[in-house]
Amino acid sequence: MTDALRKELREFLDGLETQGLSKKERVIVSAQSGLIKVQNPDGSVVDVLNFCANNYLGLADNKEVVEAAKAAMDVWGYGLSSVRFICGTQKLHKDLERKISAFLGTDDTILFSSCFDANGAVFEPLLGEGDAIISDELNHASIIDGVRLCKAKRFRYKHSDMAELESCLKEAVSMDCRRMIICTDGVFSMDGDIAKLDAICALAEQYGSLVMVDDSHSTGYIGATGRGTAEYYGLQDKVDLITTTFGKALGGASGGCISGRQELIDLFRQRARPYLFSNTLAPAVAGGTMKVIELLEKGNPYREKTMANARLFRSKMEAAGFDLVPGNTAIVPVMLYDEVKAVKMADALLNEGVYVIGFCYPVVPKGKARIRVQLSAVHTPEQIQKAVDAFIKVSRSLDDSRR
């Protein structure tokens, strides 16, 4: 590396630091759960309640899941050292694909190392010049990157604005676009709102477009039995493609998939680059995920707790006068608007033993700073009360210090 480049990069990084934009990683010294151990920079360890994980069903440290992952390693080994099409497909992977298809009510499923990869795989084999991708402006970064990898025309509509979506479809049709796909997150991570899939599917049908939903923040707990946003709306036969992650509600390890219509999945198996050129999902992860789906098939008692905890937190926070983004998912954004206040409040909450994150521009729009609280099935009513009490205490002391 040249001295000039080193200096340039150092200045950029120092700039982030002085603007307070440098991301700091807190070090956890326990398993992921509702109550975790966090190591301070001085090496001391504190217990904190975790309200910022995507561990919606609380399965990240579930004993049965951990045992299933260990058992899978005993039988199938540690790794495959191969992509799927060379010598990386074990019966375990085929079984998991079938299991997920049955769970989601789809024709077939293809596994990836992450949902980031699944979203990187989905567009390029299917769409080229002369085709159109119509995307919600708040879609996840991995969808945006996946779209960049292909040559299709790109249309972006204002978040959940169905009139704008329809204008995009009309424009695509008037430009003689051949294949069209509408893509949306199922649950949006920063506002915790659910995509208007009913309207989206109706428009797709009217204009002859495919529908793809990224259910990463939904699979496992949205819908009557946790099968995601398509189940929530009763539209399982209308959604063509679902991408999702195993790294959130479904145990939280890693891995993801595309699930959907047979011809589409067959195409991805032949042509999706992250599938063809990246290693097979590790057996431990496949075995653990298999167990998670089995637990959910047996009635999914976890999602009831997740939803009840979210309702409990919401009602207590509303009663305390906090400004929440309305919704009915396990993501509860506490609006503060002021960026400095959001960051200070999250720091102060950690001192009170409540781990949450303040989100500011550019992750959310300017002037829309917030603390995002994520509820899990593992939280107890007492822990939720403690979090609410901490919010009240910290909010008062921040207001007092401004007077």
Ligand X SMILES: *Cc1c(COP(=O)(O)O)cnc(C)c1O
Active-site residue, selected from the candidate residues 33, 114, 189, 209: 189
Nearer to ligand X, 215 or 231 (CB): 215
Specify whether the CB–CB gap between 122 and 258 falls below 8 A: yes
DSSP annotation of 280 reads P
Nearer to ligand X, 306 or 395 (CB): 306
Nearest to 113 by CA among 306, 253, 267: 253
Nearer to ligand X, 142 or 289 (CB): 142
CA-to-CA distance for 75 and 64, rounded, in angstroms? Answer: 16
Q: Residues in the site for ligand X, rule: CB under 6 A?
A: 114-116, 119, 140, 142, 185, 189, 214, 216-217, 245, 247, 256
Q: Is 217 a catalytic residue?
A: yes
Question: Least CB distance from residue 392 to ligand X, whole Å?
Answer: 30
Nearer to ligand X, 293 or 384 (CB): 293
Q: Is 113 a catalytic residue?
A: no
Q: Is 248 a catalytic residue?
A: yes
Question: Least CB distance from residue 117 to ligand X, whole Å?
Answer: 7
Question: Least CB distance from residue 54 to ligand X, whole Å?
Answer: 7
Nearest to 309 by CA among 335, 336, 333, 329: 329
Tokens representing 85 are 């099409």
Active-site residue, selected from the candidate residues 217, 305, 368, 379: 217
Question: Least CB distance from residue 378 to ligand X, whole Å?
Answer: 19
CA-to-CA distance for 389 and 397, rounded, in angstroms? Answer: 12
Q: Label the pairing between strands 331-337 and 210-214.
A: unpaired
Active-site residue, selected from the candidate residues 99, 140, 196, 248: 248
Question: Least CB distance from residue 136 to ligand X, whole Å?
Answer: 11
Tokens representing 361 are 């521009």
Omega of the bond prior to 381 within 30 degrees of 0, cis? no
Nearer to ligand X, 117 or 388 (CB): 117
Active-site annotation, residues: 189, 217, 248
